[in-house]
A and B are shown apart, each in its own frame.
Chain A
Amino acid sequence: MTLNKQEFLISSGQRVQTLEFWLEQRWLIPTEAASGAQFSDVDVARAQLIRDLKSDLGVNDEGIDVILHLIDQLHGVRQAFASMRAALDDDSRNV
Chain B
Amino acid sequence: MAKNPYDVLGVSSSASAAEIQKAYRKLAKKLHPDLNPGDKAAEEKFKEAAGAYDLLGDADKRKRFDNGEIDATGAERPQHHFYRDYADAGDPHAYTSGAGFADFMDSEGAFADLLRRGQRARANRRGEDLHYRLPIEFVESISGATKRITLPDGGTLEVKIPPGLVDGQVLRLKGKGAPGAGKGGPGDALIEVEVMPDRRFTRDGDNILLELPISLTEAVLGGQIRVPTPTGDVTMAVPKGSNTGTTLRLRGKGAPRRGGSAGDELVKLMIVLPKSTDPELEAFVENWAKGKEFDPREGTL
Contacts and interface: CB of A to CB of B under 8 A. Distances in A.
Interface string A77-95: 1111011111111100000
B280 to A, nearest CB: 54
Interface string B70-113: 00000000001111111111101111111111001100000000
A45 B86 contact: yes
Contact of B83 (A26, A48, A73): A48
Nearest to B29: A57
Given A82-B122, A86-B121, A75 B87 contact: yes
A90 B217 CA distance: 83
B253 interface: no
A61 to B, nearest CB: 17
A89 B162 CA distance: 46
Given A29-B94, A46-B86, A77-B101, 9 more contacts: A32-B172, A41-B86, A49-B83, A56-B24, A56-B25, A56-B50, A56-B53, A71-B37, A80-B104
Q: How large is the interface on A (under 10, 10 to 19, 20 to 34, 35 or more residues)?
A: 35 or more
A10 interface: no
B34 interface: yes
B122 A42 contact: no
Interface in B148-190: 160, 162, 166, 169-174, 188, 190
B100 A87 contact: no
Interface string A25-37: 0100111111000
B81 to A, nearest CB: 5
Nearest to B168: A26
A48 to B, nearest CB: 6
5 pairs of A and B residues whose beta carbons are closest in the complex: A87-B118, A83-B118, A73-B100, A42-B86, A72-B97
A49 B99 contact: no
13 contacts: A24-B166, A29-B94, A38-B174, A56-B28, A56-B32, A57-B25, A72-B99, A74-B100, A75-B87, A75-B95, A80-B98, A86-B118, A87-B118
Contacts of B89: 42
B81 A76 contact: no
With a 10 A CB-CB cut-off, give which of A48, A49, A67 has the most chain B CB atoms. Answer: A49
A87 B115 CA distance: 7
Nearest to B190: A29
A71 B81 contact: no
Interface string A7-27: 000000000100010001010
Given A29-B94, A90-B121, A78 B24 contact: no
B95 A72 contact: yes
Nearest to B26: A57
Contacts of A41: 81, 86
B15 interface: no
A92 to B, nearest CB: 12
B97 A73 contact: yes
A65 interface: no
B82 A49 contact: yes
B274 interface: no
A87 B117 contact: yes
A9 B27 CA distance: 29
B25 A58 contact: yes
Contacts of B100: 73-74, 76-77
Residue picked from B35, B85, B104, most chain A C-beta under 10 Å: B35
Contact of A75 (B32, B37, B160, B162): B37
A85 B188 contact: no
B100 to A, nearest CB: 4
A57 B32 contact: yes
A71 B98 contact: no
Q: Choose among B25, B34, B82 the residue with the greatest number of A CB atoms under 10 Å from its CB.
A: B34
